[in-house]
Structure 1
Amino acid sequence: MSSTTHTEPHRSLCIGDERPRVECPSIDMDYLTGFLRRLLEIPSPTGYTDEIVHFCGQELRRLGIPFELTRRGAIRADIPGQQSRPDRAIVAHVDTLGAMVKMLKPNGRLELVSIGTWSARFAEGARCTIFTDRGSYRGTILPLKASGHTFNTEIDTQPVAWDNVELRVDAVCSSEVDLVRHGFNIGDFVAIDPQPEFTGTGFINSRHLDDKAGVAVMFAAAKAVLDARVPLPVDCHLLLTISEEVGSGASAVLHQDVTEMVTIDNATPAPGQNSRESGVTVAMADSTGPFDYHLTQKLLRLCREHDIRHQRDIFRYYRCDSAAAIEAGNDIRTALVCFGVDSSHGYERTHVNALRSLAELIALYMQSEPAVERDRMGMGPLAGFPHQPVHPADSGE
């Protein structure tokens, strides 16, 4: 069910309202889900993202979209429009949660620290890959007291914490010396298996849907626009960041002339939240504060005009690429649009309908005019600066 809006923003100084209604090109869902499957197969915990950067770069090349990389591997791809500014950006992140080896233990197992913020509760029992300097090994993350036959009911009473798990490697290791002999070191990266399952009912269960499903949405929307040969009014930059899970995100990959940026990431369906696993969830604010009023209202208006199921939400314990871009000093409008993910940062679930709706919105946004005409100026006079509604709402009586 679409969200209800009681007031329509004053739009006389925003552009794009008198243009013909844009149409949404068809989203190739086989491409979207197939691309997502391949993304999930590539380990990419923050700090170990080179291979997924190569994979995304190869796909951009196949689609005919030019791109360039930062030194560390964030990608900025460019789809030219009829004007070069005020241009826009769409961003998603390819890095995921994971872990690193903190210590080689005397019992031949590995102590871990998390990469990103996620509970050790979801690490317990996870299969994983450890990347050493000499090659990779497989292993399992286990609680310190893993066997009921040994510890009886203590397996249910030990605290949930990263200090209370260890990594059992699939190598003959019963001591720290054995670990060293096999090439394990402090600082080795640990990638958690996604365990994806695409069900016949449309649900997708997997770790790391945050934000690989968002990356798949971005590529599917761009492919739809390119396949339909739709002219874009302004340049559109597709940004793929590599460190969102640790907070830096889109802080170093923007062109200076980007005036508005839409982040694609996951919403959080849960008690006390308005997010859903269907439709688009438009975030009004996250832990860093409100998103830009005019850009957010524009996205909501596109949803209404094109009958895209949507809802609004606010996230209190959430930070996305937009925050990193603002904190880096970029004077841009930002917004956040999401696919609903149940059990975020755990074993996650979304639905193909949410991914389709979000891809449709992104494709429509790419075709639309910038939110505010005046944004082509970095600094300028008051003339042309937009208004927010202050008049009393029409009660409809």
Structure 2
Amino acid sequence: MRTHLSELAVIISFYVYTMAATNRPRSFVCERKYFSADVVSKSLENACVALTYSDVSCRFTAALDGSKLFGIQDAALFSVPTTVCYGHQYSGGNLLHRITSENRVNSRIVIDSMCNLVGLVYRSKRSYHRCEETFDSHDGLTVKSENESEISTKNFAYRCNGKIFLYQDIFSSYEYLKDKLSLSAEKKAKVNIIRINSHQFGDNEIYLWSIYGDGDFLVKRAGPYRIAVNKAKDIVGLAYRKNNHWLRCTEMQSVDPKPPKVIDGTKNSIGETLFANISPFKCGNKLFSAITLNSHMQAACRVIQEDANKAINEEFSFPMPDLAEKNEGRNTGFWPIRQLEMGDDRKANSPIHSIIEGSGRVGKGIKRRNIFIKLNSACDFLGVYARVGDEFLECQKL
């Protein structure tokens, strides 16, 4: 099946509409750091621009194997850190980086080839971990998947003026205190119970307990944060002090989305077109699966469509035109194959279709970031090539 520009436009329009129809504000917690929906939305814009424009000399945008973290077995994903290389036409800051205000930001936004948000991950001890997708309980949302089936949710955390307390930690503290306070006057004195009446708790009389954990009361570490219980000693939430007022913390639910499923024989589980004539390739000692190449084809074809719309002004985004055809128009071009962020990523027991295998170089004089797919303006796959100097050498088809 050959996908021409008119067909491609229909595919892209349908896919974008399908995603938008079920879209919702999405917030995340990574290692107890909260990323609001507004922040994630801005980061998504940055990640999409980075996938389109970032210079190939930058190791980002990087490929990501989403089979374990997201259950996506049939597509390569792309990760962009909260600081990226601003090559080509891309410039500007990054909202996620400013808000976390760290010199080294370990969080990554994960997108697919069509710039749809997949999720957030963070690196810890040279491994990736999936961030929790959350929403505020008071929003009353019923979270649904694309096929309109409800997605399971659970109590996850309390957010108090930006600080995150995991629900399980607070509930364990509550259970411990409830048991001990009924037995020991000494423990009761340490808790330093505060009684308040607050409209944020329905104008009921509420008792605030110190948070207990790790064998001690977290007075210094927890700061002005306390467990809120009613007269019957039932937990009703978490509270924090701001100036002279006690405010109710926001209760958060986490989302447990199910992996996508293939519903159309012409597309994979995330909606990518299955392009014709794609097979695995080998460049030196590096292997590239058909799945990886197909996802890069989808990313490249998205930009081809955008370039077709801008051609009248000769504003092209495609990163690498085929210089050998400079006198014949911009019929063919090269799209960089994004590789894994770190060499240790290969040790994560990837499935058979692992994105990249082999060492960091592909033969003498070929850098790991100088490997490309070649395609034409009709989105026909024309092979995999390695750039050596000003030459593009065809890799071995398997």
Do the structures match in fold with TM over 0.5? no
* RCO higher in structure (CA 8 A, sep ≥6): 1
TM-score class, shorter-chain normalisation, is under 0.3
Q: Which has the larger radius of gyration?
A: 2
Q: Which has the higher strand share?
A: 2
Query: TM-score, with normalisation over the residues of structure 1?
Result: 0.28
